[in-house]
Structure 1
Amino acid sequence: MDLLKFQNDMENETLETAVNTWEKELNQKEKGSGYDLLTQIYGLKEVVCFLEKKYYGKEDELAEQLEHSGLKEAHARQVKKIATYYHRLSNGGVQRVVSQLIPLWCSMGYEVVLLTDEEPSEEDYELPAGVKRLVLPNCAGIRSGNYEARAEMLEKIIEEEQIDLMVYHAYLGNMLFWDLMMLKGHRIPFVVCTHSVFSRFAMEGYYRTFVKMPFLYRFCDCLLTLSRTDVEFYRGLGIRVTYMPNPVDLSVGREKMASLDSFSMLWMGRISEEKNPAAAVEIAARVIKEVPKAELLIVGKGDEALTGQLKNRIAELHMEEKILLCGFQKDVERFYQSAAVCISTSRVEGFPCTNIESRLYGLPSVCFALPYVELYKTDQGLITVPEGDVEGAAKAVISLLKDDEYRKKMGQDARKLVEQFASFDYAAAWKQVFEGTLTFMEASEDCQVMMETLLRHYKTGLSPHREVIVSQCRKAEAQRTAKLEAEQEKRLEEVRNSHSYRLGHALLWLPGKIRKVFGGK
């Protein structure tokens, strides 16, 4: 079937019939133009919502059919008002970056509208006055077939706010492709910001996401990455990609730098598996044995089960007075200023905000090596050890705490490096993104074929084992929960059997008995 016949035949057909015909009758090169016709005949929102119901979770299969559609085109236009989206604005590195970018864009003369899934909270980072915030139907509650409310909200925002461009931070989100189809269907440029290394989800076992996302990024006008390593990976897949470091705020003057006269270690971040705070506890325990004056402050919140594990491990080590869980803190300056060394134990990072912040305050850092991270590509103010090397990290921290001159030199080096990053002309780089004037280097045809083949074969090889992988992940999670419950019960039993508990129980037995008697009367 050719496109003209497809158009004529669809004029009086239902959308379901039209999509079935589009899938089965048009060849691969005509499907893109066929999709454009579908949106003209039946309406953009209607087509996107129908396809979401059919292809949710399989967006890469749909993307392959839209390869030659208008969605793939990049649209340069005069930009006055920017929309930017992330799930929330509190407790996290991405959220912190969003809160830093919005003032930058405002200072460049743009209007900004912030879109989130969650309502504002007291823990949110601050926004400049006049920035409007709108709340979308939460992506966490959207699955196949119920995208319509979100699509309607987006169309309303596009019409009422007169959005000129979208900067999308939920780069792995389940709504990315559907939101992209809605925005680009209105010829609004769609820019995606990644916030971690390209291989993160491969490392975590989510192979479908790892394989799928690059094929979706081909449709965005520009993909921004935090490392040049990522640029090479995505360029090899035919994606319009460029390097854009996170903003560095030099409003923290040198006069606010830490004195480095304490023996305080600092771990700052979200309590989560990929941040690996448990390793920080083990490092600190070894350091404290060697340097009794030392202490560790863990600042951040997150996974409650993991937080419980940390508390139990600290208790097992009898270091409740030396390793402190400080929870979420909006004002982090006092922690940086009172510390002597910063510890990072992340298994994966993009452009770690806490490393930037610690360097601003002149703190030397000890980190697990992540060679793709731009901030870790130099040893200025930084000691790296192999990922998971607790002993090596502890020795590095001890060497800093025991040598005042070495520690303070490393602190000065840390500050110098972050000042070099701050010299990047962020306004000029973002202006090129907004105006669509960037030029993108293209990989060779063989390189692109190689990368596509790698991902497709990876997906094909793992697909038959998907249920086994999911089952193993669920089993591992159940074992982790059971272990946590057993550790908590063990701790309670130790408390019940302790001398102080039994003594207290005995002392309170008679008053309790008397109260019970009188309470009954």
Structure 2
Amino acid sequence: MGNEKKISIIIPTYNVGKYVNQCIESLINQTEKNIELILVDDNSTDNTVDVINKWKETNENIVLIQQTVNKKAAQCRKDGVLRSTGEYIMFVDADDYLEANACEIALQTIETEAVDIVQFGTKVENFGGVPDSRIKSNENALMPTVERIEGDLLEQCFLERKFSFTIWNKIYNGDLCRKAMLEVEDGEFPKANDLYAAFFILYYAKSYCGIEDKLYHYCFGRGMTGRNRMSLNDYTKCCQSWLVYKNISKFGNPNNKSSFHEVLDNIHERLLNEQLGKLRNNVVSEDREKAIRILMENMEANMFEMIREIAKMGWEFRPEFAKIFRGLPELRYKPKRITNIAFYYRNIKNGGAQRVVANLASEFARLGNGQKYNIILITDEQPQDGEYKIDENVTRVTIPNYLEYSKKKYGERADALYRVIDTYHIDAFIDSMWNIQPFFWDISVVKSHPSHPAVIAHSHSAAGTMWEFKGNAVEETMSSYAMVDAIVVLSEVDKMYWKTINPNVYYIPNKLEKTYNKLPRKKEGQNTVLWVGRLSKEKQPLDIVEVIERVAVFVPDVKCVVVGDGEKEIVDNLRGEIVRRGLEKNIYLAGFQKDVDKYYSEADVLLFTSRYEGFSLTLFEAAAHGLPIVKYEIPWLTFNQCMEGYTTVPQGHVREAAEKIVELLTNSDLWRQQSRLAQDSYNKYDEIDIIELWRKLIDDLQAINDGECEELILLEELKYFHSSLVNQYKLDRKELNDKLQRTYKEKSQINAKLQSTYREKTERGNKIKELKAKLAKKNERIEKMKKKIANREARIAELESEVESMKKKKGVLKKIKDTIKKK
């Protein structure tokens, strides 16, 4: 007992001859001297043991354990701990070192606080030449929680993340540490050995506290951590961390900790996240397919389970994983007889694509003459009122909604989709939701089924529309479309575009439910304009108001019926604009209608204001009813190539659109001519057997071989082109923003000067007003003075007149007196 030390420090070593001297020196020179150093050498092949022995000659507190074979750090730490005698235990990696007073401060804290674990701060030193931001990030991640924590430390560490599980920046209760290390199985654990030991220490520990003092020097970059490129051999070692996970999973949880299984899930996520990050960032691109298999083998997962997990942790990196998945044989379609076909769309209500999917599924279900198919319609939403009708032979299945079950919740959607493929023995999966984030993950899940179904992307929009979307939509769509077994598009333009990515592209236009032969006749005195579609941003419904406002100037009784529904904000804005312009009698919002035929038959003109469309059934339906059309220009539409009876105006030219509508409403001959052209051209279009085109696609898939893309454009080049455009846009935007800021600044300065001038002008104006007011008062006083003077002068004149009168009287009296005297 007298030989027991206060602190045992465990240092595993392997070929660290260049660094171990600094480590040992920092420990020998500790201000706390009651320590033992247990160095466990893992069969080094360099001079590591020689360096240790040299120190051992002059220091009795050094213990050297030499392994005869390489057993990795986990075994070295376990052997060192079980050999230790210290009341407390610390761990130091051989390429790191401690502050001179580290042991003294750590010992004082653990004894004063009476806790099982004390964590201290870490100084990260940059030996890997990495950016300072990364060093700072690591230091922050290693910061202890400066408080006392009691209770379930597994939960506090792994779930609450109050402190890190690194074992080398802490001091532990020795007995607790030795008990925990008995749970660590003997054997090689090349990776996650810190986590392995920490799990059991935290399981048995009951109290923790942290201090801010940075006592540990972590020499970042001396080990493997700082490497950028990773070989398959290194990645294999990295994936062996799953050995640790499996061993921890076998632990019986004797203390019945409630957080146990949640902590296991957290560790699973941490390991997978780390390995997917290394696969993406460190493994070279040509090795990534092999790396995926290495990861699968170590996780003991099949392809579906792998995709399910990758989706949860690598959701945002769809283009990168698409590039990897494309080369995997496990996801490659195997030609077969196709009998069971699944169609997928989010719902079958209120929309052109929804109607197409419902009709297509029904048409396939009704096929006979030896072409019987079992049709499964998959939607996110449960059956509800207002849906398009489907044939009774179509089996309806729902899966979790993509809006709610994405990222970490995607697993539930993946499980449901996989069950559908399995239960109904799906041979071909037709996905019409190409523009949602789960599209890539959904098709990957389908392809991962052992039966290897064919996956068909049914595009309901034009290829160019993806350039409208934010983020990496272009790269993502191209990457996903390169994975599918066939692409169905709605124009020859799109067919040419997607042929650069995938050799199996089919132009199959949409089919209408009915054929219309009766030619309508314009009713005298009726001036009805029809607009049909989902009220959404790209369809520009506010342009309706501007067009009809101009039409009403010339045709006051014009009535525009808007058939369709959409987002509340867009509907409210449209309704508000109608009221603001006083067009309540001219524009009527009919909302969503399942039966649109009566609106077509009662209308005189169709107005079409979309900025972009993939096909637009509305145009064909209007033409089928013999309805003349005034439409915005969308040059790639199939409608333009095969139909007549319409007038095109440039995008956003509401005045020109109004003029064309007025012409049709006021010129019966022109109306009849356009009506006849529209219906005649539709009748020719209706002769196309669209279902036969789909059957040909199915037949081709049953014997399809991998082919080369016509006019091949490498995906990387397109990606680069897109990235260049985005970067140029960012530069242009920055330049414009800078100019805008300068303009704002100049404008602010000018405004400031104007404000100053306005103030001066106002002040001068006020002074002038004051002076005018004073002048007016003075003038008023002068006028009063003038009046007083005038009054005085008048009075003087009166007095003078009176004086003259008195003088005259005086003269008369004098004459009288003189006369009297004479008498």
TM over 0.5: yes
Equivalent in the alignment of 2:18:
none
- Aligned runs of 1:127-276 on 2, under 5 Å? 127-186=390-449, 187-203=452-468, 205-238=469-502, 240-249=504-513, 251-255=514-518, 257-261=519-523, 262-276=526-540
Equivalent in the alignment of 1:381:
645
> In the alignment, residue 223 of structure 1 is paired with which amino acid?
I
- Aligned runs of 1:423-438 on 2, under 5 Å? 423-435=687-699, 436=701
Equivalent in the alignment of 1:335:
599
Equivalent in the alignment of 1:85:
344
Indicate conservation of the 8 Å contact 1:164/1:188, yes or no. yes
- Aligned runs of 1:452-491 on 2, under 5 Å? 452-461=719-728
For the residue of structure 1 that corresponds to 2:537, the secondary structure is coil
- Aligned runs of 1:290-301 on 2, under 5 Å? 290-301=554-565
CA separation of 1:317/1:119 partners in 2, compared to 1, >3 Å: closer, same or farther?
A: same
Equivalent in the alignment of 1:515:
none
The higher relative CO (CA closer than 8 Å, separation ≥ 6) is in 1
C-alpha displacement of 1:79: 1.0
Alignment pair present for 1:444 and 2:706: no
> In the alignment, residue 258 of structure 1 is paired with which amino acid?
P
Which residue of 56, 78, 81 corresponds with 2:315?
A: 56
Which residue of 273, 280, 286 corresponds with 1:29?
A: 286
Deviations 1:77-132, CA, capped at 9 Å, x for gaps: 21111111111110011101111101221133211111111111111100101312
Q: Tell me, in whole angstroms, the C-alpha distance in 2 between the residues paired with 1:79 and 1:466.
A: 51
CA separation of 1:171/1:226 partners in 2, compared to 1, >3 Å: closer, same or farther?
A: same
CA separation of 1:24/1:344 partners in 2, compared to 1, >3 Å: closer, same or farther?
A: closer
> In the alignment, residue 467 of structure 2 is paired with which amino acid?
A
Q: Tell me, in whole angstroms, the C-alpha distance in 1 between the residues paired with 2:425 and 2:331.
A: 22
C-alpha displacement of 1:351: 0.5
> In the alignment, residue 32 of structure 1 is paired with which amino acid?
E
Q: Tell me, in whole angstroms, the C-alpha distance in 1 between the residues paired with 2:588 and 2:309.
A: 51
CA separation of 1:378/1:43 partners in 2, compared to 1, >3 Å: closer, same or farther?
A: closer
Equivalent in the alignment of 1:484:
none
Deviations 1:15-74, CA, capped at 9 Å, x for gaps: 746656755775433433543565574123321122112221220021223342126634
Equivalent in the alignment of 1:98:
357
Q: Tell me, in whole angstroms, the C-alpha distance in 2 between the residues paired with 1:379 and 1:117.
A: 35
> In the alignment, residue 81 of structure 1 is paired with which amino acid?
N
CA separation of 1:325/1:25 partners in 2, compared to 1, >3 Å: closer, same or farther?
A: closer
For the residue of structure 2 that corresponds to 1:112, the secondary structure is strand
C-alpha displacement of 1:442: 2.7
C-alpha displacement of 1:378: 5.6
Q: Tell me, in whole angstroms, the C-alpha distance in 2 between the residues paired with 1:347 and 1:368.
A: 7
Q: What TM-score results when the alignment is normalised by the length of structure 2?
A: 0.53
Equivalent in the alignment of 1:487:
none
Structure with larger Rg: 2
Alignment pair present for 1:307 and 2:564: no
Q: Tell me, in whole angstroms, the C-alpha distance in 1 between the residues paired with 2:302 and 2:708.
A: 35
CA RMSD of aligned residues (A): 3.0
Q: Tell me, in whole angstroms, the C-alpha distance in 2 between the residues paired with 1:166 and 1:175.
A: 15
Q: Tell me, in whole angstroms, the C-alpha distance in 1 between the residues paired with 2:403 and 2:672.
A: 46
- Aligned runs of 1:489-504 on 2, under 5 Å? none
Deviations 1:144-175, CA, capped at 9 Å, x for gaps: 21111111112221222111110001011121
> In the alignment, residue 698 of structure 2 is paired with which amino acid?
F
> In the alignment, residue 578 of structure 2 is paired with which amino acid?
I
Indicate conservation of the 8 Å contact 1:36/1:69, yes or no. no
For the residue of structure 2 that corresponds to 1:274, the secondary structure is helix
For the residue of structure 2 that corresponds to 1:145, the secondary structure is helix
Deviations 1:349-380, CA, capped at 9 Å, x for gaps: 01001111111111011000000111023661
Indicate conservation of the 8 Å contact 1:265/1:339, yes or no. yes
> In the alignment, residue 347 of structure 2 is paired with which amino acid?
R
Indicate conservation of the 8 Å contact 2:495/2:505, yes or no. yes
Q: In the comparison of the two structures, how many residue pairs are matched?
A: 466
CA separation of 1:316/1:460 partners in 2, compared to 1, >3 Å: closer, same or farther?
A: closer
Which residue of 377, 387, 392 corresponds with 1:114?
A: 377
Q: Tell me, in whole angstroms, the C-alpha distance in 1 between the residues paired with 2:442 and 2:598.
A: 40
Task: Give the % identical residues.
Answer: 23
Equivalent in the alignment of 2:585:
321
Q: What TM-score results when the alignment is normalised by the length of structure 1?
A: 0.82
C-alpha displacement of 1:217: 1.0
For the residue of structure 2 that corresponds to 1:444, the secondary structure is coil
For the residue of structure 2 that corresponds to 1:377, the secondary structure is helix
Equivalent in the alignment of 1:288:
552
